[in-house]
Amino acid sequence: MRAWMLPGLLCAAGLLWSAAGRAQTAIDYSTPSAWICLPGRSDVCSAPLTSTVVSPTDGSWSKRTYTPDPAAPIDCFYVYPTVSREQTPNADMTLGPEEQRAARQHLARFGAKCRTFAPLYRQTTIAAMDGGAARGDPELAYQDVLGAWRLYLARHNQDGGQGRGFVLIGHSQGAFLLSRLIAEEIDGKPIQHGLVSAILTGGDVQVPAGRDVGGRFQHIPLCHAADQVGCVIAYSSYLAASPPGPDAVFGGGFTPGSTSACVNPAALRGDEALDSELLTVGGVAALLGTDLVENPGVVTGACTTLGDRTFLAISVKPAGAGAATLERALIALNARRPGWGLHALDINLALGDLVDIVGQQGQAWRTQAG
């Protein structure tokens, strides 16, 4: 067994200490109910996803189905963003529709390339973020994610002692937690060998200006090609027409000389347009009858620096069927919280690209690992 396959387990019956000094019971991640998605069972990640594809030429609709591969050769470990609507500082471990929707929206499509793992965790809630509850405890959330990660490594990653390649996927709070986990548990350690890639969107991964390594991670660079292994894809998205100002939430550097990383998934694939796959909701979902909607060739992205902000600038090409409707929807989202930009859509704006890249990276990793 490889040395990086020997992680310690968080004792299921033990205690951990939160940042506030309160003893908290550690979550038993050997229990299936502590997971949103696990391989080999029926959950929100195991069912096929359907998509309505809008033709860019004549506006006609066609349907496409994406099916998970239960024998996928690598794994994806996902930590969801701030979605809990519980009126407490930290969420409990109850699986609600918000957590399921996040996994369905972000993770399920990756099931065509990797086995999907998504733990529940006691995240800081929307109420805590907005001031409607006491300040949340990020240390409690992190210790949960760490416990789930160590359980995953010990129970699910061994693959006959060889160790499976893994992709870490996080958005917003999930990206911040995974960034810490990578820095403390993976970066520069033997287990880094297993890292296929990390997708950390809306999490302000820090790098020295003009460099692709250093800052948050000392040995893990930003990705420069779709088949590059052991690298990071990170960005925060804003409308090109409404770029982030100095008071924006994302895209800034935390220290002098550092900047927020931006890797354009379309550029990694040598494309101009992003392969956006947006979740359908409400009346759109009822009209289309599918999980996703796609407008090929319409959405573009470009890594841009304005002032002290670096971000993925999103534009909608004026030509093409459905472009005007899509642009209005993005403008409306941006108007709700201009400082947040298109944060809620970070992953889905490039979902098709990211899934394809993970497939290429997984193949390259398997070739290198032998």
Q: Encode 82-149 in three state secondary structure.
A: CCCCCCCCECCCCCCHHHHHHHHHHHHHHHHCEEEEEECCCCECHHHHHCCCCCCCHHHHHHHHHHHH
User: Rounded mean pLDDT of 259-271?
Assistant: 97
Of 55-59, 84-88, 354-358, the poorest mean pLDDT is in: 55-59
Pick the residue with more confidence: 15 or 320? Answer: 320
Q: Give tens-digit pLDDT for 44-72.
A: 999 999 999 998 888 889 999 999 999 99
pLDDT band at 19 (very low <50, low <70, confident <90, very high): low
pLDDT the model gives residue 320 = 66
Domain residue spans of the chain: 32-39+48-369
- Which pLDDT value is given to residue 318? 82
The Cα 141–Cα 148 span in angstroms is 11
pLDDT at 90 over 60: yes
- Mean per-residue pLDDT for 227-234? 98
Mean pLDDT over 23-43 rounds to 94
Please write the tens of the pLDDT for every residue from 169-204: 999 999 999 999 999 999 999 999 999 999 999 999
Give CA–CA dist 351/83, Å, rounded: 19
How many CB atoms sit inside 10 A of residue 240's CB?
Answer: 16
Overall average pLDDT of the 194-222 stretch: 97
The pLDDT mean for the chain works out to 91
Query: Model confidence at 369, in pLDDT bands (50, 70, 90)?
Result: confident
Taking only the tens place, the pLDDT of each residue in 139-153 is: 999 999 999 999 999
| pLDDT for residue 323 | 83
Question: Which three-class secondary structure state does DSSP give residue 330?
Answer: helix
Per-residue pLDDT reduced to its tens digit, 291-303: 999 999 999 999 9
Q: Is 250 a residue whose pLDDT tops 80? A: yes
Q: What is the largest CA-CA distance in the chain?
A: 61
- Given a contact cutoff of 8 angstroms between Cβ atoms, the answer to whether 212 and 221 are in contact is yes
Tell me how crowded residue 328 is: count the other CB atoms within 10 A of its CB.
Answer: 11
* pLDDT at 361 exceeding the cut of 80: yes
Question: Which residues, 6+ apart, have CB-to-CB distance to 335 below 8 Å?
Answer: none
Q: Output the pLDDT for position 262.
A: 98
Res 17: pLDDT: 52
Q: What pLDDT, on a 0 to 100 scale, did the predictor assign at position 321?
A: 64
Per-residue pLDDT tens over the stretch 306-336: 999 999 999 999 866 678 888 999 999 999 9
Q: What is the mean pLDDT of residues 72-100?
A: 97
The CA-based angle 167-310-301, given to 5 degrees, is 70
Does the pLDDT value for residue 4 go beyond 70? no
